[in-house]
Structure 1
Amino acid sequence: MDHLFTVDGGSATPVAPTALAAEGLLERQHLQEWVITHPQVLGESVLVITSEFDRWADTDGVPARDRLDVLGLDATGRLVVVELKRGTADRDVHLQAITYAALVSRFDLDTLAQAHRDFRKGRGEVLELDECRQRLLDHVDGDWSPELLQRPRQVIIAANFPKQVTHTVVWLSEMNLDIDLIQVGLWKVKDQLVAGFTKVYPTPEVEEFTLAPARIEAKAAVEKLEERTQAQKAVHVLVDAGLLPDGTRLRLVPRHGAPEPIRQAIQEWVREDGKRGTATWSNNTCNPLTWDADGKIYSPTGLAKHVFTSVTGRKVDGIRGTTWWDVDTSLVPEAVDPSEWAALAGIDLARLSRQHNGTSKDWTGLHTLLNAVPAGRWTTYGDVATVIGSHAVPVGTHLATCGQCPNAWRVLNAAGRVSPGFRWTDPTRTESPADVLAAEGVRFDAGAADPGLRLSVDALKSLLGN
């Protein structure tokens, strides 16, 4: 970013840049931590394996004081070597990056797993070596490739780059080395520091014409990665929005990536053992499915691939597993309104996530809204969800488990009836929500609340001043 402004209507005021050193920010304690915490600045789907790595025991003539700032692994199976400079990069910074790339190109899965275990241990997370090895394997889309591992991508992050560096990096790219230059900028807006990371080389236009062999190989892998990314995004949407309660039952319906003959073979295979076609959902962004057939946890795509391989005997790429799993609405989770749950019939995980992408589970707005619902009036799960930008199912689940929601008894189902899933968070309360509403002046006819006392979506919005 060359220019940064604070904006007040039609007025824009330039913000003067500052520097990490001027603000007392350090390379290791600050810049490095930003990258570790937010590895997306290094590219799509990068897992940080380690930082400050200096165990070069198997190399000759490399002193232990040489420390690799950050080492990552992208989802295509390539290592990412990161060199950090909080100020202007040294004139030979690219040589440091190349040296580290050469050293890590000798690493194998076990070396990387050991480095990751030590790194996580230093950050307070104790993992077994096998867990670390599996984490690396799971992060890579497709088969682990030792050949691709030998071609690390290099990323140099600095406040500025001398022309000597940029010119050399351009030439090195033309000579088939894969190097990215990322500029870190810092601005001070009042008392708040704002950092920005801008990729200055290669630009998208240049990248089209300077693809090193390793990047060409990675490009093919990226196409497969996009399928996986879509599935990951779907899972994140579902978990972040709280759209499915833990324990939600799912049914297998093979779709994306499986030709019709294989779909039929899978369905026949499931008929032999019904447990093969069902799974249980948990709000875990990595492996949210527990398969009934073996009790193990999987990602939606991971389990779809496992099923495909079990039936056909061969591996498969390009499956979007979130399309394979439908919500089983015949089994209503506790605390969920059955009338709202029925609306999910026939919906797979991918479609559900698309319908509700952007839904939030920050319940501050819900609490504020419910607090404003007056005695003698009622509303519905669906209308409340519409106003706060959520969905009726997570709203109902939250009301049943929160313990802090005001006036929760004033929320009924679309028919004006108390949801069968309603639970008082105070176990000593024995009266029904209908009794409380009746005492507040809400009339009931055959178990349904007076529709004339229902607050509409517009009325709810007005309570919030919208």
Structure 2
Amino acid sequence: MTLLFKVNGAKATALPAVSLAEAGLSERADLQEWVLANPAILGDDVMVVTSEYDQWTGSDGLRARDRLDILGLSTAGRLVVVELKRDAAPGDTHLQAINYAAMVSGFTLDTLADAHATWLTRRGNPTDRDSARALLLEHLGGGELDPELLRKPRIMLIAGAFPRQVTNTAVWLSQFDLIVELVEVAAWRSDDGFLAGFNRLWPTTGAEEFTLSPMARADAERVSQKEVQRSRAASAVRRLIDAETLADGTTLRLTLSAVPAAQRAKLDQWIQQEPSRGRAAWQNDPKGPLRWEADGGIWTPTRLVLHILAQATGSAPESVRGPIWWEVEAGHSLADLAEAVPGQSRRDWSDLHACLDALPAGRWTTYGDLAQVVATKAQPLGQHIATCPSCQNRWRVLDADGTVAADFKWPDPSRADTPQQVLESEGITFTNGTADPSVRLSLTDVANLLRRAS
């Protein structure tokens, strides 16, 4: 139970908790509007695509009457299906939400653009399909939707309380890489009205490590890495555009150093046949920052790399981090230039600090995983941790093989104990200098730590 107090100097008075019904608040006019006005409730990276969506049509042409409360989209391209209940959720709430998740799993960019345009227009902001599509792509940082991520929506249930049928099912489903998030909404009566709060009940920090089966965990890790990769690519483009690092028309070339050896010869030969295939011009437009010299078309760095690989070699990987493939004449990639943006190399490391603060005792992570989550590289992140007195729990960050970094230093040079000794005092065992891999935080765990700490 969450307690809320009104503080006046040394006096703290507990505010009485009330249900939303007792407060005279409704599910649609109040709770739903709060979420629509404050999408951060769904996650800092989520935009609302539509609400009260009911445009379902089956292959037989018949319309379904189901009405989805809210549909969101993360910057990584994962859909968020939201089901709202003003008071205690019925025992079958999760079944209804799973049904919606199945129905939206077949959505495409065009489907989402239609839904977003209709929703914006209905809410007093007339928007056509093309404009809605541009807004969605802008939210993705100029990237495009990944069908694999679209097929696996995130489910969020928001209610005054949850019965055991719902909580037990949410925990059980997490073993199969289907995350049902449970958020409890509560209200308190104050002198001048009511206060409301949202509290995430599930998943709890670290829960995924213990509930996912090995196969499902590996699949979740793969999907999570794709999400992180997409977010990093979008972040690099945004930083360059916001800082106006490159002038419109700046020539970029495709660097073969990023190409896997098996594809390098084919790609090199393909570009030599027509050199314009390996060049693009930069433009400060998040919806399409590259103009490919070969066809004059507008592309994002990642989408163009995938297109080029498919054309040159006949196949392309599921995803790539486009900004590391394109470089300026001086040899610096877009990713390198984004890292050097003023305020980035001297960047605000509050995201890293929040993540470090949340690292639990008895667990460890790596510099590489932390770097992926906060969208930087392992080397500058490690340098920052080594020199920043504000970095907490630094001893819980190890090299990829589970060993203490050779250049690890304490902020206090007089400190004589070692990170391994501190970790051992927290219950982590070491074998030949290597930490127990079973208590390593997964990439998903680290990403969730940051999301919850933000």
Return the TM-score normalized by structure 1: 0.55
- In structure 2, the residue matched to 1:220 is 222
**Structure-2 separation of matches of 1:300 and 1:188:** 52
How far has the Cα of 1:169 moved from its partner? 3.4
Q: How many residues align?
A: 337
User: Are the aligned partners of 2:143 and 2:303 in contact in 1 as well (CA < 8 Å)?
Assistant: no
Amino acid at match of 1:308: L
The answer to whether residue 352 in structure 2 is matched with residue 351 in structure 1 is no
> 3-state SS of the aligned residue for 1:208?
helix
How far has the Cα of 1:275 moved from its partner? 2.8
How far has the Cα of 1:52 moved from its partner? 0.3
How far has the Cα of 1:89 moved from its partner? 3.6
- In structure 2, the residue matched to 1:239 is 241
User: Are the aligned partners of 1:76 and 1:221 in contact in 2 as well (CA < 8 Å)?
Assistant: no
2:128 to 123, 126, 129: 126
User: Are the aligned partners of 2:113 and 2:129 in contact in 1 as well (CA < 8 Å)?
Assistant: no
User: Are the aligned partners of 1:326 and 1:349 in contact in 2 as well (CA < 8 Å)?
Assistant: yes
1:364-400 deviation line (CA, Å, top 9, x unaligned): xxxxxxxxxxxxxxxxxxxxxxxxxxxxxxxxxxxxx
Amino acid at match of 1:313: G
Question: Equivalences for 1:76-155 in 2 at 5 Å?
Answer: 79-101=79-101, 103-104=103-104, 114-122=114-122, 123-128=125-130, 139-141=144-146, 144-145=147-148, 149=151, 152-155=153-156
**Structure-2 separation of matches of 1:273 and 1:327:** 19
User: Are the aligned partners of 2:50 and 2:119 in contact in 1 as well (CA < 8 Å)?
Assistant: yes
- In structure 2, the residue matched to 1:71 is 71
Change (3 A) 1:280 1:152: closer
Amino acid at match of 1:277: G
> 3-state SS of the aligned residue for 2:129?
coil
How far has the Cα of 1:129 moved from its partner? 11
User: Are the aligned partners of 2:251 and 2:282 in contact in 1 as well (CA < 8 Å)?
Assistant: yes
**Structure-2 separation of matches of 1:83 and 1:237:** 34
Amino acid at match of 1:115: A
Radius of gyration: which is bigger?
Answer: 1
- In structure 1, the residue matched to 2:212 is 211
Change (3 A) 1:324 1:177: closer
1:193-249 deviation line (CA, Å, top 9, x unaligned): 997654321224322233388886454222233222211111122223x23255141
User: Are the aligned partners of 1:256 and 1:321 in contact in 2 as well (CA < 8 Å)?
Assistant: no
The answer to whether residue 298 in structure 2 is matched with residue 297 in structure 1 is yes
Change (3 A) 1:3 1:104: same
**Structure-1 separation of matches of 2:182 and 2:108:** 26
Change (3 A) 1:301 1:168: closer
- In structure 2, the residue matched to 1:392 is none
> 3-state SS of the aligned residue for 1:199?
strand
How far has the Cα of 1:289 moved from its partner? 1.4
- In structure 1, the residue matched to 2:259 is 258
Change (3 A) 1:109 1:224: closer
Q: Which runs of 5+ in 1 are unaligned?
A: 329-344, 361-466
Amino acid at match of 2:229: E
**Structure-1 separation of matches of 2:111 and 2:295:** 31
Question: Equivalences for 1:402-441 in 2 at 5 Å?
Answer: none
- Cα root mean square deviation, aligned: 4.9
Question: Whose relative contact order is higher, 1 or 2, with alpha carbons under 8 Å and at least 6 apart?
Answer: 2
How far has the Cα of 1:127 moved from its partner? 0.9
Change (3 A) 1:281 1:13: farther
**Structure-1 separation of matches of 2:6 and 2:283:** 43
- In structure 2, the residue matched to 1:202 is 203
How far has the Cα of 1:322 moved from its partner? 0.9
Amino acid at match of 1:179: V
- In structure 2, the residue matched to 1:307 is 308
